[in-house]
Amino acid sequence: MRILVLSDIHANLTALEAALDAAKGRWDRAVCLGDVVGYGPDPNEVATRIREMGAFCIRGNHDKAVAELMATEDFNPVAKAAVVWTRESLSKESLQWLKSLPSGPKEIEGIVLVHGSFHDEDEYVFTPEQALQGLLDSSRPLTFFGHTHHQGGFSYHDAQLEVLQIRPRDSDSFAALRIEPEKRYLLNPGAVGQPRDGNARAAFAIVDLEHRVVEFWRAAYDISAVQARMQAAHLPEPLVQRLLLGR
């Protein structure tokens, strides 16, 4: 069983298509760690694509905010403007689908999916201290999280917590991580639609459970085409610019 792990697509259809093209023929089942919408110009197209793929999807904070399941007072003004625009742009079907997304943690095919941290779907996991509780408490050794838009993660064994700096080089499509049977992992596939780890390419991961390997992928996409659609939709300019920076 090979699982395609997508996260933080953020209504960026061009990035999603590039990721799916790169992953073609390499996975059996798809999952999504939330933030299907928010920031990007293609909320309906992306929601429809994820639904039609049959991806098992949990919700992210942007999905919740757009579906009016959480207040946006913690969102910065730019993010808030994108939430309002997204809500107004979504079809009834897409909005209904977003509302119906379950919260993490959810276990599927022997891996655990969360959006933020294991104990709080809205919490960011950047540091080893923030990762530790999830590493210890998750019901499975292999847990995937999103929300930070940083590809990589953490492993834990024998009271040793290791930060995994695993990203493909610019000239490569993916970097592989061997899963050791005695270790526990908290892994982030990176963001498909709005990377913030300094690399503008769309990020995702593929888990091969049989061979115990996780591949961390990057796929280039036509960023300027997405920026043009964002500008036409009058989405906030900082959101347009950050796609190219990968920050």
Closer of 8 and 197 to Zn ion (Cβ) = 8
Smallest gap, in angstroms, from Cβ of residue 1 to Zn ion?
26
| 183: its two tokens | 């270790």
Smallest gap, in angstroms, from Cβ of residue 86 to Zn ion?
13
Closer of 124 and 183 to Zn ion (Cβ) = 124
Distance CA 70, CA 73 (A): 9
Closer of 34 and 141 to Zn ion (Cβ) = 34
> Residue number with the shortest CB distance to Zn ion?
35
Smallest gap, in angstroms, from Cβ of residue 183 to Zn ion?
27
Closer of 102 and 110 to Zn ion (Cβ) = 102
| 102: its two tokens | 């379950």
Smallest gap, in angstroms, from Cβ of residue 116 to Zn ion?
9
Q: Where are the alpha helices (DSSP H) in 41-154?
A: 43-53, 61-66, 77-89, 92-100, 128-137
Single out the residue of 146, 118, 120, 121 nearest to residue 132, CA to CA.
Answer: 118
Single out the residue of 180, 177, 122 nearest to residue 153, CA to CA.
Answer: 177
Closer of 8 and 42 to Zn ion (Cβ) = 8
Distance CA 101, CA 88 (A): 19
Burial of residue 161 (CB within 10 Å: 0-12, 13-18, 19+) is: middle
Closer of 110 and 198 to Zn ion (Cβ) = 198
β-bridge partners, 31: 5, 56
Dihedral sign, CA of 85, 91, 94, 98?
positive
Q: Where are the alpha helices (DSSP H) in 107-152?
A: 128-137
**SS3 state at 109:** coil
Give contact residues for Zn ion (rule: CB under 5 A): 8, 35
